[in-house]
Structure 1
Amino acid sequence: MAGDRHGSGLTHLGADGRADMVDVGDKAETRRSATAHGAVRMSDATLSAILAGNAAKGDVIATARIAGIMAAKRTHELIPLCHPLMLSKVAVDIAPDPALPGLRVSATAELTGRTGVEMEALTAASVACLTIYDMAKALEKGMTITDIALVEKTGGKSGDWRAGDGG
């Protein structure tokens, strides 16, 4: 299999089956980006309160955006075997979606480097959603975090990928 170092199909396993950090030292530096999405479903009343700035803990959206950015920068401290990366950009956008109802999160991480930034984008989206929950739980404990997914990545040896394209 592609990327398989020891016949297992998994790149993070050593010859003896132990977890192993992938050596990216010989990989070419390329421009890479990844975007992940997530959502927090809530009642119309909770969404209205957040948008009106009436959450007791403060500005939910601004705080969640900052939390997502901070999380992307610390992914290597949270996810075993992730490389510490010199990210050139992290963007977290949060928008209301009355159809959920709730908030939709989009997180993009970018760099020029030897390894991808999918985990950084996913971590940013996840932590932004968790922060929304934390900031608004006094309004509603039944909110649901959902739809955390990688939606696209660019660059690197494997090239570009978009959700729905397979693989």
Structure 2
Amino acid sequence: MEFNHFDSQGQAIMVDVSAKQPTLRTAVAEAVVSMSPPLAERVINSGSAKGDVLGVARLAGIAAVKRTPELIPLSHPLAVHHVAVEFLPDTAAGRIAIRCTVRAFERTGVEMEAMTGASVAALTVYDMVKGADKSVAIAGIRLLFKEGGKSGTYRREEVP
């Protein structure tokens, strides 16, 4: 298997997608933030001393999607048409799964945008609660679903 971000001399390149036809592309990515169950309960039900943690994280995730080409060097700037950031809490386990869905009518996929959105939303939750719980952790950053384009549909099988 070859990596498509390198030319025949091994130099990094942006993949040429100019000959591809635009199609509707969708991707869903996830990141999981783990913390103490009492803190997760507080974040979900009442926010924190800093305010609405999840509201700020949602805005951060959306903003990150739009800035992906500035953060990931070889990603294409895309006209993103839809971004949604949702939170799936399991307060008893002290986990908040963050899912980012991105949709665009483009020549290339939106997986990196969805992964970036989920990651930055998770980092924002971390930043806002780290003062209350030093054991907060982020894990499980992964692509759950993608469709559109020549590679077809992908759905991760072990989605919890």
TM range (shorter): over 0.9
Partners of 1:100 and 1:121 in 2: how far apart?
A: 25
Q: Which residue of 2 aligns with 1:28?
A: 21
Deviations 1:45-84 (A, max 9, x none): 2112213435122110100011001001100000110001
1:69 paired to 2:65: no
- Cα distance in structure 2, aligned partners of 1:16 and 1:51: 51
TM-score w.r.t. length of structure 1: 0.90
Write the letter of the residue equivalent to 2:119: S
The one of 84, 95, 104 equivalent to 1:91 is 84
Whether 1:112 and 2:135 are equivalent positions in the alignment is: no
Structure 1: which 4+ aligned runs deviate by more than 4 Å? none
| Residue 102 to residue 31, structure 1, CA distance change in 2 (3 Å) | same
Q: Which runs of 5+ in 2 are unaligned?
A: none
**Contact 1:96/1:104 (<8 A) preserved:** yes
Q: Which runs of 5+ in 1 are unaligned?
A: 2-8
Contact residue 39 and residue 102 of structure 1 kept, 8 A: yes
Alpha-carbon deviation of 1:102? 2.1
Question: Which amino acid is the alignment partner of residue 38 of structure 1?
Answer: A
- Residue 116 of structure 1 aligns to which amino acid in structure 2? G
- Alignment partner of 2:55: what SS? helix
Letter in 2 for 1:158: S
2:154 to 158, 161, 164: 161
Paired AA for residue 84 in structure 1: P
Kindly state the Cα deviation for residue 126 of structure 1 after the two structures are TM-superposed.
0.4
Match of 1:39 in 2: 32
Amino acid at match of 1:113: E
1:99 is displaced (CA, Å) by 4.3
Q: Which moved further from structure 2: 45-54 or 91-100?
A: 45-54
Aligned residues: 158
